[in-house]
Amino acid sequence: MPCNPSDHFVLHRRDLLVAGGLGFYGLLVPELLGGAIQKPAGAARTAKSTILIWLSGGPSHIDLWDMKPNAPQEIRGEFQPIQTSAPEITLCEHLPLLANQAHHLAVVRSVGQPDSMNDHHAGYYYNLTGHRPEPGFNSDRHPLPDDWPYIGSVVASQQRLHPYLPQQVTIPGMAGAPESRRPGQFAARLGVQHDPLYVMAKPESPRDFQIPSLALPSDMTSARLQDRKEVLGALGRAQRQFDRSRSVGNFSDLQAKAINLITSEKSKAAFDISREPEAIREKYGTTLNAMSMLMARRLVEAKVPFVTIFATYEPKAYEKNGCKGGGWDTHWNNFGCLKDYLVPEFDRAFAALLDDLHQRGLLDDTL
């Protein structure tokens, strides 16, 4: 019997956020969808947007978040814990700015995964969808149309359409560069209309965000595009029978969204980092990851329901700091890479994001 994905996700958005979060922390979403989701007594239900910051490679929890200061030296790392603005939370000594924002944090120290899933490719899928990958899932496994959907796509699919922006945005690129085809980051069985909008930027140009799929040719003005939109509308009316196809219907929706994004001044303004005061940009930092967090704040301010940041790193800067591999996958010079490069960048940008959201009255509405 064919499976209709929409039959499985008839839940309110806030319940879906709860279900997705529990999926990340060891419970599978299907187990929750089988019955009513019970929320804790007095639990807040005010979140309107989510920002997922994916530190590719996996930051060491025992060096940053759960330092186990009373453990033997051969178990714990060389960094020291420091007190924070939340008495019950200690953090790594190299997170001093975030320590001042710790009262805004809920630190979960019980995340785990099956031993059999010791693979980045499978880990992406498990964490981004909340579903365990099938046996044999490895780096050769390509995305499939019937994959479980990315949690951002699930959340976005349950939302009332944003008047001028997409339901979810991924910055500053897709996961798994350079091929960027890691399973788990797509809407898959929910349909391509629920895929994120990918807004790209490069480390050497951290303030220059582009939407490749929506870029206009140099000789194409918004007025000419509007003329073409009217022509397309006329052609569409002449082919109503053909337009009953579900796939064509999805394409038409995507086409309409694309045209609105290109022609709307509000849309272009939301993605324009240059409108931020220089002091704000400096507070976040100068790197691409820092500007991505600032972009995320702008999108939350514009009421985009789900924003994903797949952190990326400029290879030359990375290697200059004695690091190899990719991002937080610190198989080489772990403590040096963390102390001298990865942690300071993250500390500055993430602390700035929390404080910025708080100052603008957005933090209580943002996960």
Domain that holds residue 188: 5-37+50-211+271-365
Residue 265 lies in a domain: no
pLDDT tens digits, the chain, 367 residues: what are they? 344 433 333 334 344 344 444 333 333 333 334 444 455 555 555 789 999 999 988 888 999 999 998 899 888 899 999 999 999 999 999 999 999 999 999 999 887 777 767 788 888 999 999 999 998 888 888 999 999 999 999 999 998 889 889 999 999 989 986 667 899 999 999 999 899 998 888 888 888 888 765 554 555 555 555 555 555 555 555 454 444 444 445 555 655 666 666 667 888 888 889 999 999 999 999 999 999 999 999 999 999 999 999 998 877 767 776 777 668 888 888 899 899 889 999 999 999 999 999 999 999 999 9
Residue 260 lies in a domain: no
| Cross-strand partners of 303 | none
Rounded CA-CA distance 86/6 in Å is 41
Residue 263 lies in a domain: no
Residue 114 lies in a domain: yes
| Per-residue DSSP letter, 338 | I
Residue 130, sorted as left (phi over 0), alpha (psi -120 to 50) or beta, turns out to be left
| Per-residue DSSP letter, 339 | I
Residue type, 107: V
Residue 44 lies in a domain: no
Based on the structure, what is the number of domains in the chain? 1
DSSP string over 122-144: HHHHHHHHSSPPPTT--TTPPP-
Rounded CA-CA distance 259/45 in Å is 34
Residue 223 lies in a domain: no
Rounded CA-CA distance 192/254 in Å is 9
The upper half-sphere exposure of residue 363, i.e. CA atoms within 13 Å in the direction of its Cβ, equals 16
Residue 137 lies in a domain: yes
The upper half-sphere exposure of residue 262, i.e. CA atoms within 13 Å in the direction of its Cβ, equals 21
The answer to whether 345 touches 94, Cβ cutoff 8 Å, is: no
Residue 225 lies in a domain: no
Global pTM exceeds 0.85: no
